[in-house]
Structure 1
Amino acid sequence: MNARILGMVDLMSGGQDIERLDPERRRRRIQLLAELAEARALRNRVAPRRARHERQRDFITNRRRMA
């Protein structure tokens, strides 16, 4: 896995303390999050317009949270 996907996995984990999970569950969780990040990256490459709209929605949502 590349560093970009692993960075996305870290963000997707929601800041939870993954160390508390048992090793097998932790491994499955990390694998699932990596697969989700990889699927999202592939979808963004295939459908750049959708990716742009998703980034704009995220930006607006984050802006509203800060206001």
Structure 2
Amino acid sequence: MTNVAPLGTLGFMAHVPQRLDPDRRRRRLELLAALADAKSAREHSQPRRLRGARLRELIANRRRLAN
């Protein structure tokens, strides 16, 4: 075992990005597109929830700026 990396690091694997095969990449993109469509449909059908989420985000941003 000469290529033992210390615990908590990726060692030599950090430099090699993993490529997805074309089928898996296509399915992943289709899933992400479907999720984005579902999110936009949900936001369109539930504007009150969306408005509440925006208000909470604005309040959180103000608190961050005040500190």
Percent of counterpart pairs with the same letter?
56
Q: Which runs of 5+ in 2 are unaligned?
A: 1-17
Q: What root-mean-square deviation, in Å, do the aligned CA atoms of Structure 1 and Structure 2 show?
A: 2.8
State the Cα distance separating 1:50 from its structure 2 match. Answer: 1.1
State the Cα distance separating 1:54 from its structure 2 match. Answer: 2.8
Highest RCO, 1 vs 2 (Cα 8 Å, sep ≥ 6): 1
Q: Could you tell me the TM-score, scaled by structure 1's length? A: 0.52
| Correspondence 1:56-67 to 2 at 5 A | 56-58=55-57
Structure number with bigger Rg = 2
Could you tell me which residue of structure 1 aligns to residue 32 of structure 2? 33
Q: 1:33 to 1:58 in 2, by over 3 A?
A: farther
By percentage of residues, which structure has more helix?
A: 1
